[in-house]
Homo-oligomer: A and B are copies of this chain.
């Protein structure tokens, strides 16, 4: 029998990533279309269906080649039905994503949370290296998470599992978070959190290398902080220690509960590599039990922007 292609779709606030992927997880074809958020996102499913048809036509491939669609979306999702309660960044509210996309494409569709799909991608073809107990933490604008136990994503009772960015790091006096709480890990260990900590530190560190960057560019990025730290900048080193302390505490505590074989750190901040992993592991090893530390490896995510579509393909392969 002819090998089928798996379709991975990763919906973001700016673009929709789509890929045809082999049953072995190799990307055959990938491309992006813009996310049309007008009219509360009502055109998105039609756009995806049309993009797939046009690509098939251009490749001169029949639709029967496609095994189904695995799609990651932001927001609160009911997994069984693929119903989106709310996706603020997209404009959806009570949107029957799975039903709509199945009707428009004539293909079977599985939907999951975008962070979960990325974790599945890393487990299958990326840094997760096949580990069946995996903790994925994405340090981007926010902090996202995906938890895999026994090879399956943990969704929890109403689809909220994996909200690692909203673990409370500071029970009193923390910065306020988009979620309405304060002191969340996301306010410290995201790119945004790192910028905040660096800017707050400027007043007490007049000689910091970050002063000039702030004056020139008007903003300090997490990349700036890691670069300045590599030149011995004190403020930057302090910021990184603070980030790694809270991240190490959160990950170490989750590891005591979940005992993952692999801990994958992704997102823009993870590009710092060992400058992040080094101090992070020090705090982690202070928090996690020795036998938990022994069982776990840290790795930087390797799939980058492809993690979502590859995870979507994995869903098609294993669930449809």
- Which A residues are closer than 8 A to B by beta carbons? 76, 131-133, 145, 147, 149-150, 152, 154-164, 166-168, 171, 179-181, 245, 249-250, 252-254, 256-261, 283, 286-287, 289-292, 294-296
Interchain CB contact (< 8 A) of A162 among B145, B245, B257: B257
Instruction: Kindly list chain B residues whose C-beta atoms are within 8 Å of the C-beta of A159.
Output: 259
- Report, nearest first, the 6 A-B pairs whose CB atoms are least far apart: A156-B259, A157-B261, A161-B259, A160-B259, A158-B295, A167-B253
Of the A-B pairs whose beta carbons lie under 8 Å apart in the complex, a sample of 10, sorted by A's number, is A133-B161, A149-B154, A156-B292, A157-B259, A157-B260, A160-B292, A163-B257, A163-B259, A163-B292, A168-B253
Chain B residues, CB < 8 A from A132: 157
The interface centre, meaning the residue of A132, A160, A163, A180 with most chain B CB atoms within 10 A of its CB, is A160
**Closest B residue, CB atoms, query A256:** B163
By a CB distance below 8 angstroms, the chain B residues around A287 are: 168, 171, 181
Q: Are B289 and A249 in contact (CB under 8 A)?
A: no
A259 surroundings in chain B (CB, below 8 A): 154-163
CA distance A289 to B76 in the complex (A): 13
Known: A147-B258, A163-B292, A167-B256. 10 other contacts (CB 8 A): A76-B291, A156-B258, A156-B260, A157-B295, A160-B256, A162-B257, A163-B259, A163-B289, A171-B283, A257-B257
Q: Are A258 and B161 in contact (CB under 8 A)?
A: yes
Question: Known contacts A147-B258, A171-B286, A259-B155; is A160 also within 8 Å of B295 by CB?
Answer: yes
Q: Whole-angstrom distance from the CB of A236 to the nearest CB of chain B? A: 22
Query: What is the CB-to-nearest-CB distance from A189 to chain B, in angstroms, rounded to a whole number?
Result: 14
When distances are taken between beta carbons in the complex, the residues of chain B under 8 Å from A294 are 158
